[in-house]
């Protein structure tokens, strides 16, 4: 279904631990972020590129369609299904791995990965980010990246509807 280059970046939960250990063995600094990334826009791309700058490997935890529904977003969300969203993220040069998660938060995923850097957008406080306690206990950093003004999926959807 996907091009081989995209397929290589989409990591199953079963293979996640092995892949992360391989990256670590090679001396890479692992950065983790997560989100829905429903309709990819400039704000997302700049955010992900800046996240990648914080280490060598960027892993994106991608909410499954079911977990997006649990987040009280509008009933039409996600606009794109998880396979499409995963493939689009995998197509970005700055993204090294995409792993889908079905829980409301990526807490269990962060426990598995134990990233060196956990990052979210500037609309969060570092100590309030899910997984902060895990990363801190492992000696890692939790950071925020300022959002690109004027770009959000919600505003893009409103613009398309008008």
Give the CATH class of 4-161.
alpha beta
In angstroms, the CA 22 to CA 128 distance is 30
H-run or E-run covering 22: helix 13-25
In angstroms, the CA 9 to CA 3 distance is 10
Per DSSP, the residues of 85-144 read: HHHHHHTSTT--EEEEE-SSSSHHHHHHH--SEEEEETTS-GGGSTTHHHHHHTT-EEEE
Tens digits of per-residue pLDDT, 110-155? 999 999 999 999 889 999 999 999 999 999 999 999 987 766 666 6
pTM of the model: 0.91
Tens digits of per-residue pLDDT, 59-105? 999 999 999 888 766 777 788 999 999 999 999 999 999 999 999 99
| Domain boundaries along the sequence of the chain | 4-161
């Amino acid at each position: 279904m996907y091009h081989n280059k995209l397929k290589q970046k989409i990591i199953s939960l079963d293979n996640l631990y092995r892949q992360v250990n391989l990256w670590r063995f090679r001396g890479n600094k692992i950065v983790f972020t997560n989100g829905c990334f429903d309709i990819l826009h400039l704000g997302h791309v700049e955010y992900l590129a800046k996240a990648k700058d914080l280490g060598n490997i960027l892993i994106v935890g991608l909410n499954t369609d079911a977990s997006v529904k649990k987040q009280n977003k509008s009933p039409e969300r996600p606009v794109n299904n998880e396979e499409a969203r995963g493939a689009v993220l995998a197509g970005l040069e700055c993204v090294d791995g995409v792993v889908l998660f079905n829980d409301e938060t990526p807490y269990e995923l962060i426990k598995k990965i134990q990233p060196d850097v956990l990052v979210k957008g500037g609309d969060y406080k570092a100590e309030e980010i899910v997984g902060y306690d895990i990363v801190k206990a492992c000696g890692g950093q939790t950071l925020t990246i300022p959002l690109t003004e004027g770009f959000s999926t919600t505003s893009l959807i409103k613009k398309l509807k008008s």
